[in-house]
Amino acid sequence: MIPCIDPKAQYLAYEEDIDAVIAGVLKEGRYILGEQVRLFEQEFAAFTGVAYCVGVGSGTEAIHVALKAAGVGAGDEVITVSHTAVATVAGIELTGAMPVLVDIEPGYYNMDPLKVEAAITPRTKAIVVVHLYGHPADVRAISAIARHHGIKLIEDCAQAHGASLDGKKVGAWGDVACFSFYPTKNLGAIGDGGAVVTNDPELARQCRQLREYGWDSKRVSVMQGWNSRLDELQAAILRVKLRGLDKDNASRRALAQAYGRQLAGLGIMLPSVKAGAEHVYHLYVVRTSGRDQLKEYLEQKGVMSMVHYAVPVHLMQVYQGRVQVPSPLLETERVVKEILSLPMYPQLSPEDIDKVTRIISEAKPNVKG
Ligand SMILES: *Cc1c(COP(=O)(O)O)cnc(C)c1O
| 158 C-alpha to ligand 1 centroid (Å) | 5
* Percent of the chain whose pLDDT exceeds 90: 98
What atom of ligand 1 comes closest to residue 185's alpha carbon? 1
The pLDDT, as a whole number, for residue 61 is 98
Q: Tell me, rounded to whole angstroms, the distance of Cα 298 from its chain centroid.
A: 26
User: Minimal CA–CA distance to 136: which of 329, 281, 343?
Assistant: 281
| 59 C-alpha to ligand 1 centroid (Å) | 5
pLDDT above 50 for 206? yes
What atom of ligand 1 comes closest to residue 159's alpha carbon? 15
Kindly state the DSSP code that residue 137 receives in the 8-state scheme.
P
Pocket test for ligand 1, best of 88, 104, 187 (most atoms within 8 A of CB): 88
| 289 C-alpha to ligand 1 centroid (Å) | 27
Q: Which amino acid is at 259?
A: Y
| Single pTM value for the model | 0.97
The pLDDT, as a whole number, for residue 262 is 97
Percent of the chain that is helix, strand, coil (3-state, to 5): 40, 15, 40
User: Minimal CA–CA distance to 87: which of 57, 63, 111?
Assistant: 63
Pocket test for ligand 1, best of 78, 80, 93, 156 (most atoms within 8 A of CB): 156
pLDDT above 50 for 317? yes
Q: What is the pLDDT of residues 126-138, one digit of tens each?
A: 999 999 999 999 9
Distance CA 342, CA 298 (A): 10
Pocket test for ligand 1, best of 104, 128, 182 (most atoms within 8 A of CB): 182
Alpha helices in the chain (DSSP H): 7-12, 15-28, 35-48, 59-69, 86-93, 113-119, 139-149, 201-210, 232-243, 245-263, 291-300, 330-335, 350-363
Pocket test for ligand 1, best of 60, 185, 309 (most atoms within 8 A of CB): 60
The pLDDT, as a whole number, for residue 305 is 98
| 287 C-alpha to ligand 1 centroid (Å) | 23
pLDDT above 50 for 368? no
Question: Residues with beta carbon inside 6 Å of ligand 1?
Answer: 58-60, 84-85, 87-88, 130, 156, 158-159, 180, 182, 192, 194
Q: H or E segment at 152?
A: strand 152-156
Q: What is the pLDDT of residues 97-132, one digit of tens each?
A: 999 999 999 999 999 999 999 999 999 999 999 999
The pLDDT, as a whole number, for residue 15 is 98
Q: What are phi and psi of 38, to 5 degrees?
A: -60, -45
User: Minimal CA–CA distance to 337: which of 364, 368, 299, 297?
Assistant: 368
pLDDT above 80 for 366? no
For residues 177 and 127, the answer to whether their CB atoms sit within 8 Å is: no
Distance CA 12, CA 217 (A): 39
Cis peptide bond N-terminal to 309, omega within 30: yes
Q: Please report which confidence band the pLDDT of residue 365 belongs to, taking 50, 70 and 90 as the band edges.
A: low
Q: What is the pLDDT of residues 269-315, one digit of tens each?
A: 999 999 999 999 999 999 999 999 999 999 999 999 999 999 999 99
Length reported for the chain: 369
